[in-house]
Amino acid sequence: MHGPTAARDASSGATSPDDLSTFSSLQFRDYRYLWAGGALSSVGHWLQQVSIGWIAYDITGSGTVLGSINAVRFITALVIGLLSGVMVDRLDRGKLMVWLPLFLCASSCILGGVLLTDNVRMWHLFVFMFVFGAVQAFEQPVRTTVLFDLVPRSHIPNAVALNIAASSITRALGPGIGGFLLSIIGAAGNFFFQAAAYLVAAATRFAIRLPPKKPLPRRNMASDFREGFAFIFKGKLVRAYVFISFVAPLLLIPTFNALPPIYAKDVYHRGPEALGFIIGSVGLGGLLGALFTASLGRMDRRGYVQLGSLLIFALALIGYSFCRSFWFSLPVLVFAGFAEMILITTNQMLIQLIIPDALRARVTSVLLLSNGFLPLGALIAGAGADAIGAPMITRVMAAAAAAIALLFLIASPTVRDIRMSALIAGSPQQSAQQPKPTAP
The CATH number of the domain holding residue 102 is 1.20.1250.20
How many angstroms separate the first and last alpha carbons of the chain? 32
Domain closes at, from 211, 243, 266: 211
Q: Is 271 exposed, middle or buried (0-12, 13-18, 19+ CB in 10 A)?
A: exposed
DSSP 8-state class, residue 120: -
Q: What is the mean pLDDT of residues 13-30?
A: 67
Answer whether residue 94 is part of any domain.
Answer: yes
Same-domain status, 125 and 269 = no
Segment of 165-169, 343-347, 382-386 carrying the highest mean pLDDT: 343-347
Same-domain status, 157 and 294 = no
Q: Is the pLDDT of residue 389 over 80?
A: yes
Over residues 341-361, the pLDDT tens digits come to 999 888 888 888 888 777 777
Q: Is the pLDDT of residue 70 over 80?
A: no
Q: Closest Cα partner for 31 from 7, 65, 50, 52?
A: 7
Same-domain status, 187 and 226 = no
Same-domain status, 162 and 255 = no
Residue 360's pLDDT is what? Answer: 75
Domain closes at, from 211, 242, 263: 211
Question: What distance in Å separates the CA atoms of residue 196 and residue 67, rounded to the nearest whole number?
Answer: 27
Q: Which helix (H) or strand (E) holds 419?
A: none
Answer whether residue 439 is part of any domain.
Answer: no
Same-domain status, 377 and 231 = yes
State how far the alpha carbon of 294 is from the alpha carbons of 157, 170, 200, in Å. Answer: 7, 17, 26
Q: Is 12 exposed, middle or buried (0-12, 13-18, 19+ CB in 10 A)?
A: exposed
295, 296, 302, 306: CA torsion to nearest 10: -40
The number of distinct structural domains making up the chain is: 2
Q: Is the pLDDT of residue 437 over 90?
A: no
Same-domain status, 300 and 159 = no
Q: Which domain holds residue 53?
A: 1-8+22-211
Q: Is 348 exposed, middle or buried (0-12, 13-18, 19+ CB in 10 A)?
A: buried
Q: At 222, is the pLDDT very low, low, confident or very high (cuts 50, 70, 90)? A: low
Average pLDDT of every residue of the chain: 79
Q: Is the pLDDT of residue 435 over 80?
A: no
Answer whether residue 51 is part of any domain.
Answer: yes
Over residues 407-417, the pLDDT tens digits come to 999 988 888 88
In sign, the C-alpha dihedral spanning 419, 422, 428, 433 is positive
Q: Closest Cα partner for 354 from 161, 164, 153, 213?
A: 153
Answer whether residue 16 is part of any domain.
Answer: no
Domain closes at, from 148, 177, 211: 211
Answer whether residue 402 is part of any domain.
Answer: yes
Answer whether residue 393 is part of any domain.
Answer: yes
Segment of 69-73, 247-251, 421-425 carrying the highest mean pLDDT: 247-251
Answer whether residue 241 is part of any domain.
Answer: yes
Question: What distance in Å separates the CA atoms of residue 333 and residue 318, rounded to the nearest whole number?
Answer: 11
pTM score of the predicted model: 0.73
Q: Is the pLDDT of residue 338 over 90?
A: yes
Q: What is the mean pLDDT of residues 213-223?
A: 61
Q: What count of residues does the chain have?
A: 440
Answer whether residue 384 is part of any domain.
Answer: yes
Q: Is the pLDDT of residue 384 over 80?
A: yes
Same-domain status, 296 and 201 = no
Q: Closest Cα partner for 292 from 39, 22, 17?
A: 22
Q: Closest Cα partner for 112 from 191, 184, 198?
A: 191
Same-domain status, 179 and 112 = yes
Question: What distance in Å separates the CA atoms of residue 60 and residue 352, rounded to the nearest whole number?
Answer: 43
Over residues 416-434, the pLDDT tens digits come to 888 777 777 765 344 434 4
Q: What is the mean pLDDT of residues 230-240?
A: 79
Question: What distance in Å separates the CA atoms of residue 211 and residue 321, rounded to the nearest whole number?
Answer: 50
Write down the number of H helices and E strands in the chain.
19, 0
Same-domain status, 270 and 253 = yes
Q: Is the pLDDT of residue 301 over 90?
A: no
Helical residues (DSSP H) of 271-372, grouped into ranges: 273-294, 302-322, 326-354, 360-367
Same-domain status, 126 and 262 = no
